[in-house]
Structure 1
Amino acid sequence: MSMQRHVGPRSGTVWADLFGDLPDHSHEASAQVLRAWIGGYLVEPHPDLGRAGPVCPFVRPSVEKHLFGVAFVHGAHVDAGTLTTIVADQYDLYLRLVDEDDRDRTLKALATVLPDLTDFTVIDEVHAGCKSRFVERGCMLGQFYPGCSQPGLWNHDFHPLDAPLPMLVARNMMTTDFPFLMGRPEWLRAYFKKFAPGLPSALRLILAKRMTYEGDVVEAITAHHEMVGNEQAH
């Protein structure tokens, strides 16, 4: 089932298929930038990635099946309150999409793009405030913007979230998201609930508390990388 047009009830923001007919052609210039970045970067291998395969493996099937929805929010001074309201709509709509009983639900993504925004701290602020709601439901909220310094999982000097346009992207949680969820026990509980449902809930809670990492995310990624490397060596 391809991505349909969706309107946020609080903000009136419209999400539609990025690779289909956008309802507002005034967004076309920004859409072209985003499509070029996805087609020339996200779905392709990169020499600095640190592993084989495309930068983001799920994106190609998502766009090929027209399951990548996008909303363009123009204005250079979108504040955190306004963006939080938009993300609340994004959250509700995304949950509705992934709750649909179809085999492609894990490929669905919704992006809120702010082409004119220059203060990227707003992206980080709203991301920090809204991430937990997504994680609790087995989803992720990713922040992208020019110069984003979030490190890659396999090469800390590679910055996969450095994008030409600032945006917040809702997507399905994947097993490889583990290092990015080590900062809070409730995030790890959500991870275990999704990927280890057979474990008793009490055990999931104990594991989440013991595995919570209070250090920098770069160190958490390093520890995960070393662990995976050791497993592969054996």
Structure 2
Amino acid sequence: MLTMTAKAMPATDGRFFRMKEVRDIANGISQDSDIARLLDWVESYLMNGHPDLGRTGAVCPFTRQAARIDTVRLAISHARPEDEDTTFALIRGAFTELEAIPCKPAMRHFRTVIVGFPDCDSAEGIAMLKRIQRRHRFYSLARARMIGMMHAGSEDRGLWNPEFRPLRSPMPVLAIRHLVENDAPFAALHPALMVAYLARFPIKGTRRLVNHFRSG
């Protein structure tokens, strides 16, 4: 089987684009292309409401606001399950890309990077991407960053409706963003994340966690 290093890659492979740039690219190619599919999912799913969400507002209000101020960067990687080293390097570089997104200082926490992996839509591919996520866990927490994974078969439950599966996507995705004060419900589920969360938000974060636990 040809590996990523031995086959011709699309010009967009592994490159980070503003959403406006992705729209321009999508308008010039087939709408079922990978970069167009990723953009469509971000705009039609993450940035919109859902009847099963369990609350009002967008599935990811964070992404909606980030898109409004142009602090989202999208990328497609055609890495395959056997391309773990290449994928690791790409995601490590995505952290650098995140820090390079220009914005006002008060808006830095809205910066986010979303990378789609259409050629990893298999059990082997999902397993490889989960390893990449785990390998970056402490790297991200040390920098008060979050790295999340989404894919078509995700069974992660919703915070407001446990029957809803909010992390399902049309292709495997790894996303990186800032740890924010509103992440208290996520911090409550993961001890390592809670430590990083309280280090970042010692007073307000403690209040939010206490309120979260009291609310059940």
TM-score range, shorter chain: 0.7 to 0.9
Task: Trace 1:66-215 onto structure 2 (pairs within 5 A).
Answer: 66-97=70-101, 102-118=105-121, 119-182=125-188, 185-196=191-202
How many residue pairs align between the two structures? 196
Percent identity for Structure 1 against Structure 2:
24
Structure 2: segments with no counterpart, 5+ residues: 1-12
Answer yes or no: is the 8 Å Cα contact 1:68–1:108 preserved in 2: yes
Answer yes or no: is the 8 Å Cα contact 1:132–1:187 preserved in 2: no
- Provide the residue aligned with 2:18 in structure 1: 17
* 1:168 CA drift (Å): 0.7
Answer yes or no: is the 8 Å Cα contact 1:27–1:72 preserved in 2: no
- Structure 2 CA distance for partners of 1:23 and 1:134, relative to 1, 3 Å: farther
- Structure 2 CA distance for partners of 1:227 and 1:123, relative to 1, 3 Å: farther
- Name the SS of the counterpart of 1:88 in structure 2: helix
* 1:134 CA drift (Å): 1.3
Deviations 1:125-176 (A, max 9, x none): 1112212211221211110111111111111111111001111111121334
- Structure 2 CA distance for partners of 1:175 and 1:104, relative to 1, 3 Å: closer
Mapped partners of 1:185, 1:76: distance in 2:
32
CA-based RMSD: 3.2
- Structure 2 CA distance for partners of 1:225 and 1:192, relative to 1, 3 Å: closer
Mapped partners of 1:192, 1:226: distance in 2:
15
Answer yes or no: is the 8 Å Cα contact 1:20–1:66 preserved in 2: no
Structure 1: segments with no counterpart, 5+ residues: 1-11, 205-210, 212-223, 230-234
- Provide the residue aligned with 2:44 in structure 1: 40
Mapped partners of 1:26, 1:73: distance in 2:
17
Matching of residue 50 in structure 1 with residue 74 in structure 2: no
- Structure 2 CA distance for partners of 1:225 and 1:49, relative to 1, 3 Å: farther
Mapped partners of 1:194, 1:153: distance in 2:
22
- Name the SS of the counterpart of 2:120 in structure 1: coil
Aligned residue identity for 1:228: S
- Provide the residue aligned with 1:216 in structure 2: none
Mapped partners of 1:158, 1:64: distance in 2:
26
Answer yes or no: is the 8 Å Cα contact 1:17–1:66 preserved in 2: yes
* 1:198 CA drift (Å): 8.3
Mapped partners of 2:55, 2:106: distance in 1:
28
- Provide the residue aligned with 1:7 in structure 2: none
